[in-house]
Amino acid sequence: MSAPTLDRRETAAVPDEAALQAHFDATIAADRRVEPRDWMPEAYRAGLVRQIAQHAHSEIIGMQPEGDWLLAAPSLRRKAVLLAKVQDEAGHGMYLYSAAETLGADRADLTDKLIEGRQKYSSIFNYPTLTYADCGVIGWLVDGAAICNQVPLCRSSYGPYARAMIRVCKEESFHQRQGYELLMTMMRGTDAQRAMVQDAVDRWWWPSLMMFGPPDDDSPNSAQSMAWGVKRHSNDELRQRYVDMSVPQAAALGVTLPDPELALDPETGRYRFGRIDWAEFKQVISGNGPCNAERVSRRRAARDDNAWVLEAATAYADKHAS
Ligand code: FAQ
């Protein structure tokens, strides 16, 4: 059977690829949002799916380190707060998977890619939560890094991603405050509690700096992502902002950040900091961090054990759609 042919009017109405590309370029240059119905270059679409899927996976895997403490929270109040926070992270994952779906991605396929190690999730969630102080430090440092990284993404060029980030950032701000409040409470407690906070800060500080990604001269995706207005700042710029923001917060809390080279540069007004262990980062994102195997195996078990729920829900939806 031959392919259907377009009549003259239809042929004239279909813009050619150069015109579509020019329209896309003008949208980016004018700092307008690209929407799902718009034409976009395939590399832009694929790059967004890569970043949004990794971000969604991070939110879902990121429920595990704090989730481990839900049954051991020290009071009913702490338990209610932690439960709400962990549920918020699930919600963030859902908004992000929905944003990826607007680009043609399939949620179940993305989950399979995560479990098979074909897509990444944030390095930070491969470290263990050893004491309850870790929950406070995750709120303060990890949610703090997430906010620093994600507030500029509210202006990302892809509309659904930018809009999802607005709500995510509002909730992350609350998460950071609850973490800081927990740590403040512990710092007003006993010597043992203060030592617990300091120990948690010592373990989470350097991995938090790694959340911003590799240094700019070793970041293959940054230049194109910034040219397309997906990322607005480089990894090193955001990392520096985070250090500048965190040092006074550490002082107010009364903890020491574990970096003897941390010092204010009087010329720039910014903090100089020591060398990040990029070999450790590479190990963690290659699947060899302290908890990678456990995190992924739990995610696999959740997918497999709950497959019947998905099947039932889909069957119901299919029946009502027909
Ligand atoms: N971990 O070329 P670049 C949260 C990968 S959410 C693992 O610089 P890009 C909330 C990168 O993907 C935290 N992999 O890449 C929460 C790339 O690999 P690929 C997640 C990393 O995309 C709090 C390769 O290295 N946030 O915390 C990491 O331009 C508490 C080369 O890197 C987001 O995802 C890493 N840290 O910049 C939840 C924010 N860094 O794909 C629960 C959105 C880099 O080529 C509890 N994402 N890689 O195979 C971004 O802003 C960017 O994707 C970056 C990386 C900045 C993460």
The answer to whether 153 and 161 are in contact (CB under 8 A) is yes
269 Cα–ligand 1 center, Å: 27
54 Cα–ligand 1 center, Å: 7
Question: What pLDDT, on the 0 to 100 scale, is given for residue 12?
Answer: 54
| Ligand 1 contacts CB of residue 50 (under 6 A) | yes
> For the stretch 104-132, what's the b/e string if a residue is b when 16 or more beta carbons lie within 10 angstroms of its beta carbon?
ebebeebbeebbeeebbbbbbbbbebebb
Question: What pLDDT, on the 0 to 100 scale, is given for residue 3?
Answer: 42
* Helical (H) or strand (E) element with 272: strand 270-272
132 Cα–ligand 1 center, Å: 26
41 Cα–ligand 1 center, Å: 22
Q: Is the pLDDT of residue 6 over 60?
A: no
- Residues of the chain with pLDDT > 70, as a percent, come to 96
208 Cα–ligand 1 center, Å: 12
Residue-wise pLDDT tens digits, 234-251: 999 999 999 999 999 999
Nearest to 174 by CA among 206, 212, 147: 147
| Ligand 1 contacts CB of residue 260 (under 6 A) | no
> For the stretch 45-75, what's the b/e string if a residue is b when 16 or more beta carbons lie within 10 angstroms of its beta carbon?
bebbbbbbbbbbbbbbbbbbbbbbbeeebee
| Ligand 1 contacts CB of residue 214 (under 6 A) | yes
Question: What pLDDT, on the 0 to 100 scale, is given for residue 164?
Answer: 96
Q: Is the pLDDT of residue 11 over 70?
A: no
What are the backbone dihedrals phi and psi of residue 34, each rounded to the nearest 5 degrees, phi first? -90, 130
No. of helices (H) and no. of strands (E), the chain = 15, 2
Residue 77's CB: how many other CB atoms inside 10 A?
Answer: 9
Question: What pLDDT, on the 0 to 100 scale, is given for residue 5?
Answer: 39
Nearest to 177 by CA among 253, 98, 270: 253
**If you average pLDDT over every residue of the chain, what do you get?**
95
Residue-wise pLDDT tens digits, 31-90: 999 999 999 999 999 999 999 999 999 999 999 999 999 999 999 999 999 999 999 999
The answer to whether 161 and 227 are in contact (CB under 8 A) is no
Ligand 1 closest atom vs CA 50: 41
| Ligand 1 contacts CB of residue 134 (under 6 A) | no
Q: Encoding tokens for residue 44?
A: 């832009």
Question: What pLDDT, on the 0 to 100 scale, is given for residue 1?
Answer: 38
213 Cα–ligand 1 center, Å: 6
Residue-wise pLDDT tens digits, 222-237: 999 999 999 999 999 9
Band of residue 7 on the pLDDT scale cut at 50, 70, 90: very low
Band of residue 176 on the pLDDT scale cut at 50, 70, 90: very high
Residue-wise pLDDT tens digits, 104-122: 999 999 999 999 999 999 9
Task: Out of 48, 49, 51, give the residue to mutate to test ligand 1, the one with the largest number of ligand atoms within 8 Å of its CB.
Answer: 51
